[in-house]
């Protein structure tokens, strides 16, 4: 199986039949920017973009992603620093414990790609598959608004 994750091509020879994309990312490729929480597709912590569409990696069989471009929350990190969405989450204090943050980053990028200037209702709808147990979402919504103002995805 071949996966391009955050711009790097990976040959995966030792994945097990029926293994989820999340397990391959974390256990085989040691890419930890998709978090493992519920493993039932309910919390959004493992949200990734697969060929431009967001999915919960725990519910995608790794074999289904063969040949795909997968982007995690770490996709914007390079020698120059963080991308504007990651910076906005930091600036707004929307990282709390950090467990839901990777999925929220991926979902925010997807939302801003589709709706560059989202209303609060758009933001709530765009992030509705991602649960945060630390907040009432005020800082997360502020971060998305900040990211919309500060850049493009």
One-character DSSP codes across 62-93: GGGGTT-EEE-GGGG-BTTB--HHHHHHHHHT
Q: What is the pLDDT of residue 53?
A: 97
3-state secondary structure of 23: helix
Point out the domain boundary residue: 19, 53, 75: 75
Q: What is the pLDDT of residue 147?
A: 97
Q: What is the pLDDT of residue 152?
A: 54
Point out the domain boundary residue: 41, 58, 75: 75
Point out the domain boundary residue: 75, 106, 124: 75
Q: What is the pLDDT of residue 106?
A: 97
- How many structural domains does the chain have? 2
Residues of the chain with pLDDT under 50: 153
Domain of residue 34 covers 2-75
Same domain, 69 and 107: no
Same domain, 89 and 55: no
Burial 113-152 (b: 16+ CB within 10 A, else e): eeeeebeeebbeebbebbbbeeeebebbbbbbbbbbeeee
Same domain, 7 and 70: yes
Q: What is the pLDDT of residue 81?
A: 83
Q: What is the pLDDT of residue 153?
A: 46
Distance CA 152, CA 147 (A): 8
56, two tokens: 């919960």
Q: What is the pLDDT of residue 135?
A: 79
């Amino acid at each position: 199986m071949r996966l391009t994750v955050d711009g790097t091509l990976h040959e995966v020879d030792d994945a097990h039949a029926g293994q989820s994309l999340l397990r391959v990312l974390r256990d085989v490729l040691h890419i930890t920017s998709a978090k493992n929480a519920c493993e039932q597709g309910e919390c959004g912590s493992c949200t990734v973009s697969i060929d431009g569409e967001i999915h919960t990696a725990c519910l995608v069989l790794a074999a289904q992603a063969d040949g795909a471009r997968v982007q995690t929350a770490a996709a914007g990190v390079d020698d120059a620093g963080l991308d504007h969405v990651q910076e906005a989450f930091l600036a707004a204090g929307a990282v709390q414990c950090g467990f839901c943050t990777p999925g929220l980053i991926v979902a925010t990028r997807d939302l801003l790609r589709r709706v560059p200037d989202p209303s609060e209702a758009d933001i709530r709808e765009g992030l509705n598959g991602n649960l945060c147990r630390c907040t009432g979402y005020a800082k997360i919504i502020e971060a998305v608004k900040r990211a919309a103002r500060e850049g493009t995805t």
